[in-house]
Structure 1
Amino acid sequence: MTISDVLRAIKKHWIVEIVLFCVVVGVVAGTTFAATPIYTASTEILTQYDSASSSESSTTTNQQQYANGSSLASLYPDLVQSDEILQSVIDNLGLHTTPTALRSNVSAATNDSSPIVYIYATDSNPAQTVRIVKELVKQLKKQVSAMAGPDINVSFATIQAPVEPRVASSPNVQANLAIGIVAGLIIAMLGAVLREMFDKGVNDVSDVQTVVRDPVLASVPKAHTVSNGVPAVITKPRGRAAEEVRRLTTNISFVTPKDLKQQNVIIVTSTNPREGKTTVSVNMAAAFAEKGKSVLLIDADVRHPSVAKALGMNSGVGLVSLLAGEVSAKEAIQPYWKSYLQVLPAEEQKTPSGIILGSDAMRQLVDQAAERYDYVIVDTAPMTVANDAAVFAEKGGVLLLVVGQGVAQKKALREVVKEFRMSKTAIRGVVLNMVSVNNAGRSSYYYHEDHEDAGSSSKRKSKSGISRSKSKH
């Protein structure tokens, strides 16, 4: 995953990021404010040893040695946390605890090069911390005097007396919240990246652009694409789907190279079945015819013909019979809606499609149609079924890849793109199909499909001459 992919994932999954950020910060803040405040008191003590047999006194913390060879000062941290001293503190202060529990709340520190001892105590009661520190100093002096022997006088000079703390030492609210915010940002970004990595489906334009670097020419909504055998361009001409199809037909001219052979041949395919390539093909044919262009729509998906079914037409005679020389073009090609919108359906065929579609007869058919019609739209099989689209595009034409939102899978889409690149076949544009109306990204202000009732649609259908009986001629 590249940096651009990471940035795209962060931008795409912003809702997940907000939720994760709020959860992390909320947990940290809740834990911080719910925690019992802990206060810390401390004191600094200067230890001195005076020899009873000499009038001279010295601060010999590092020179006065104990039986084991260690200076007494180096033993202070251990002495402060010893059971004997802790039990004496508990007994004298009347604490309801044990030496083991108290040990975690007291500590001492010293430096071998300095006779100064630092003693600390923590407790939820600030006044209690001062009492504990004072008692620790008292018990420590008693213990050290006993260990030093009768010849050494031990004295403790207070450098810094313990003061009752006014501010809790724990929890550190500001530090914890800062850590929570930073952790929330990091976890939110990681969550977005992980969500993107484990999200196998294609859910929006950004998913398509992550895999396919070619432009997305249109986002066709899921609803009202084909209704009762009639494309949305005819039944809902002012609807969202119709306008997106018109956008598609316009954008095709922008992505078609001027030196491309057969610029008027449009090859439509998809990664998997059920991504709506046929509905895009029939609507695109109707949109071109709406502009007064002559169009031939060819159903080249001979394994699973769907154009005739989508338009409510007869598929008994069509492409296979025409290529076999059994019928003439006049018999195989059927008019639809307008006289210059014609459809060449396909019959279901068990013969391998490569033999049919790769034949010289098929190539001649496309060449002749490209010369006669303004546009020739070839609806081919999905790429996971057969690479017929690559066979057609190799000879020229504009290759469109239809990607069904919520149907297409990123892995399969990557494999298809890889196959096209391997065959040096250029995808000219992508159509994101079956887009949720709420996520279509267009304002509904100018769309009037909800006001086009069934009656007006029926009148338009009748007036246009579209009927099942006519299509069966």
Structure 2
Amino acid sequence: WEVDKFFWPEVVLHLEKTHGNAFQQIGKHLRLANQDGLKVMAVTSGERGVGRSTVSMHMARCAADAGLTVALVDADVFYPSMIDQLRLDMAHGWQDCLFENVPLEEVAVRSLEDQITLFPLTSVISQQQLHANLHRVSKIVKRLSTAFDLVLLDSNRLNLEQRDLVGVAQESVVDAAIVVVDTELSIKEKIDTAVSILHGMGISSIGLVENFHS
């Protein structure tokens, strides 16, 4: 279904107002990377509370502003938050495509003004459920990557207890990953662990994004 526009969190809008040039530069960079084959990017971290969702939303807006068609996927299966952050009232999320055979088109929310389509989660997927369905989940992400220029996964954190990521099964459909780091609060060992897990998944294009704690 469609909405006129999303109600973006104030922190996302403030980021763009205060860093306008960076907003355009990130969009330009994503457009060029897309031309070079970037289709699916995961945004993760080594810990909670560092602003993964803020970075995901910001990058989605940058990419859309640069002319790309963008799918923004709530892929934090343990702590889904996109519908709350964007103030949406949803009956179904993409988890229902896995467990209740709901068509993917029925859970998509397209913002006409933003040119971004959200694929929300409306309930938690357990670690056991995710692990058992990694291949099916990856097929969903792969399908999105054929319908949109860029798929951004607002992913779960990675640590020794949580090693699974939406979009990664035997083979990864994730082309690149960003590890969000809080400049004041992040612990180096947790960052290194997340990066190491991503390397182990076969993802070689990994960047760190510093998110200032406010």
Smaller-chain TM-score range? 0.7 to 0.9
Matched with 2:56 is: 281
Give ranges in structure 1 of 5+ residues lacking alignment: 1-227, 437-473
Q: Quick check: 1:417 aligned with 2:195?
A: yes
Matched with 2:22 is: 244
> Does the residue aligned with 1:388 lie in a helix, a strand or coil?
coil
Q: Distance in 2 between matches of 1:363 and 1:237?
A: 31
- Structure 2 residue identity aligned to 1:380: S
Q: Quick check: 1:388 aligned with 2:187?
A: no
Q: Distance in 1 between matches of 2:133 and 2:60?
A: 21
Say whether the 8 Å CA contact 1:270–1:381 is kept in structure 2: yes
Say whether the 8 Å CA contact 1:265–1:376 is kept in structure 2: yes
Matched with 1:308 is: 83
> Does the residue aligned with 1:408 lie in a helix, a strand or coil?
coil
> Does the residue aligned with 1:359 lie in a helix, a strand or coil?
helix
- Structure 1 residue identity aligned to 2:123: E
**1:65-214 equivalence runs, <5 A:** none
Q: Distance in 2 between matches of 1:357 and 1:395?
A: 15
| CA shift for structure 1 position 358 | 0.4
Say whether the 8 Å CA contact 1:255–1:429 is kept in structure 2: no
| CA shift for structure 1 position 322 | 1.8
Return the TM-score normalized by structure 1. Answer: 0.39
Q: Quick check: 1:351 aligned with 2:129?
A: no
Q: Which has the larger radius of gyration?
A: 1
Say whether the 8 Å CA contact 2:50–2:181 is kept in structure 1: yes
Aligned with 1:335 (options 110, 126, 130): 110
Matched with 1:319 is: 94
Which deviations, in whole Å up to 9, do the C-alpha atoms of 1:217-274 show, x marking residues without a partner?
xxxxxxxxxxx9415698458622454344333334566794x5xx221111111011
Matched with 1:109 is: none
CA distance change for structure 1 residues 397 and 232 in 2, over 3 Å: closer, same or farther? farther
CA distance change for structure 1 residues 346 and 242 in 2, over 3 Å: closer, same or farther? farther
- Structure 2 residue identity aligned to 1:279: T
Return the TM-score normalized by structure 2. Answer: 0.79
Q: Distance in 2 between matches of 1:309 and 1:386?
A: 24
- Structure 1 residue identity aligned to 2:104: A
- Structure 1 residue identity aligned to 2:208: V
Q: Quick check: 1:408 aligned with 2:183?
A: no
Matched with 2:143 is: 368
**1:438-449 equivalence runs, <5 A:** none
| CA shift for structure 1 position 417 | 2.4
Say whether the 8 Å CA contact 1:402–1:432 is kept in structure 2: yes
Give ranges in structure 2 of 5+ residues lacking alignment: 1-5
CA distance change for structure 1 residues 382 and 302 in 2, over 3 Å: closer, same or farther? same
Q: Distance in 2 between matches of 1:285 and 1:394?
A: 21
Greater fraction helix:
1
- Structure 2 residue identity aligned to 1:322: C
Matched with 1:114 is: none
